Amino acid sequence: MPSHPLVRSVLLAVLVSTALTATAQAQPITAIPPAGPVQGVVTPAMHEFLGIPYAEPPVDALRWAPPVARPAWTTPLDASAYGNRCAQVGGAFGEASTNEDCLFLNVYTPHRKTVPERDLKRKRPVMVWIHGGAFQSGSAENYDPTKLVTEGDVVVVTINYRLGHLGFLAHPALSAESPDAISGNYGILDQQLALRWVQDNIAAFGGNPKKVTIFGESAGGISVHTQLASPLAAGTFHRAIAQSGAIFTQPTLATAETSGSSIADTLGCSDQTAACLRALSVEDVLAHQPLTLQTASPVIDGVVLPTPLRTAFSTGAFNHVPLIEGSNHDEMRLFVALFFDLQGGPVTEAGYVDAISALIGIPPGAAGLLAAQYPTAAYPSPGLALSALATDAAFACNAFAVDRFVAGRVPVYAYEFADQNAPMTLLPPASFPYGAAHATELQYLFTLPQAFPQALSPDQETLADSMVQYWTRFARTGKPSARRSPRWPRWSLTSAPQYLSLQAPAPIVMSEGSFRGDHKCSFWDNVLGN
């Protein structure tokens, strides 16, 4: 992750915003779930119950331990403001924080009066959002779900979970404490505890615990895949939406423990004890946490994540629920701009092979072979050639592999977000157009803080309306649909597979062959083993 002052200032600028919802003049509203009474607020758009603790603070002996459910309370909890962000250095999806007491969630409901808890048929579908940020930054509060709640008539829950080393450090001493001899998946376990909280409590907010959809983007999309593959999450959700989450590079426990031992040395814990690690200050942990895309990840530990995600999906060893799976047409343009344009300058012809090697972490010799598949002469610039290569390798072809793996077992609906004029609100202009870059689809579903404010055009607002309908009707019925928009076909193994290209103003149904040709998936399937 970049350290150039311009890039750091850009990444932090997106976070310097006022609260997404002004509550100073809002009227209070009370819900009484089994966890305890909470007093939220009525805003012009919806009911908000913010900063609800679903777990004990993961501090002291609970640092690097599975989360512990918060005991029920009897005094009404003030739920008018967000809880603490999880500890992080700060980045494009989260403001810097040194607070470990961060396991909070937020519940948003439509204005209409809730119905009795026993009447589940009249309760609304529930959508649980898992934020992105490379598993090292981000916060639930950055995602204002007004569009989903008001237009889709659903209950939305957004959650915090532990990040970075504090959420994903595996270490032999920590594994030795575990009855299962595992460590490293604390952030994933946080998500699972939040999902169990939803099962136990959401009816009191007018939500149906039998119609829970998990959805997330980037690290949140990887989290969705991880929960699909985790037997510990079985029964806590009933549909899933993975946005830009088909990344299959999770380490094994042995590899992660070796890395964790090296991290302990760097942190000054040469004795390699859990006691030394827990005695470290949050500031020390964050100061030695590199800001890279590989810093934190779920771990293949045999219990929380029993097998690699590719294996889980290809063998059917996952939680069988309807799935929306997709990626963005130009995912890696965001990262090429971030790591090259905004640091040393645009990728050059002379530096192309080295740039491939640096971006996707392979030797220069192998990078040269890939460069032959993506010659710079075939693209307007070396930066766009690199972006296309990395998009196809990391996101696009893996997403379609998931579709193929699971289609015979569960209903799956494939999409590609392809609005070439999607506003880029996170970064300044680069040497190439951003197109449908990583995370640009989020503004069509949520209201987000913006470092470089831009509004959606009328055509893009029309696309946003369709996306909100597709997402929320999928949560309601298990089948995505939208008024005055194309029927979204279920991905099929027996007939010509089709996917939905999300373009403004109207989505287009396209063939799998079109996607695979555009992203060179025949080549990448051989390379990646899809």
Q: Is 495 or 418 the better-scoring residue by pLDDT?
A: 418
Annotation says 438 is catalytic: yes
Q: How high is the pLDDT of residue 95?
A: 85
* Catalytic residue from among 438, 485, 512, 519: 438
The model's pTM is 0.94
* pLDDT classification of 91: cutoffs 50, 70, 90: low
pLDDT at 7: 38
What average pLDDT score do residues 352-360 get? 96
Query: Annotated catalytic residue: which of 100, 257, 325, 331?
Result: 331
Q: Which of 218, 223, 259, 327 is the catalytic position? A: 218
Residue 173 pLDDT exceeds 60: yes
User: If you average pLDDT over residues 68-83, what whole number do you get?
Assistant: 97
**pLDDT per residue over 209-240, tens digit each?**
999 999 999 999 999 999 999 999 999 999 99
**Alpha helix segments (H runs only) across 27-185:** 146-152, 164-168, 172-177
Residue 113: what pLDDT?
A: 61
Higher confidence at residue 416 or residue 114?
416
Angle at CA 94, nearest 5°, toward 257 and 474?
Answer: 90
Rounded to an integer, what distance in angstroms lies between the CA atom of residue 420 and that of residue 410?
Answer: 31
DSSP strands (E only) in 320-457: 323-328, 412-417
pLDDT in tens, 385-397: 999 999 999 999 9
| pLDDT beyond 70 at 316 | yes
| Contact between residue 422 and residue 440 where contact means Cβ atoms under 8 Å apart | yes
Query: Which of the four pLDDT bands, split at 50, 70 and 90, describes residue 1?
Result: very low
In the chain, % of residues over pLDDT 70: 93
Average pLDDT of the segment spanning 259-265: 97
- Work out the angle between the directed axes of helices 352-360 and 364-373 (0-180°, nearest 10): 110
Beta strands, E only, 166-252 = 207-217, 239-243
Please give the average per-residue pLDDT across 435-463, as a whole number.
97
Q: 232, 223, 38: which is closest to 129 by C-alpha?
A: 223
Q: Reply yes or no on whether the pLDDT at 19 is more than 50.
A: no
Rounded to whole angstroms, the Cα distance separating 135 from 165 reads 9
Are the CB atoms for 211 and 121 separated by under 8 Å? no
257 is catalytic: no
Closest CA to 237 of 180, 196, 282, 279: 196
Task: Say what the pLDDT of residue 297 is.
Answer: 96
Whether the pLDDT of residue 3 is over 80: the answer is: no
| 3-state DSSP helix/strand/coil % of the chain, to nearest 5 | 40, 15, 45
- Better pLDDT: 118 or 431: 431
Non-local (6+) Cβ contacts of 106 within 8 A are 48, 49, 50, 51, 52, 82, 140, 141, 157, 158, 159
**For 323-355, what is each residue's pLDDT tens digit?**
999 999 999 999 999 999 999 999 999 999 999
pLDDT, averaged across the chain: 92
In this structure, the number of other CB atoms found within 10 A of the CB of residue 60 comes to: 10
Q: What are phi and psi of 208, to 5 degrees?
A: -95, 110
Average pLDDT over residues 436-458: 97
pLDDT at position 92 over 70: no
Q: Are 168 and 296 in contact (CB under 8 A)?
A: yes
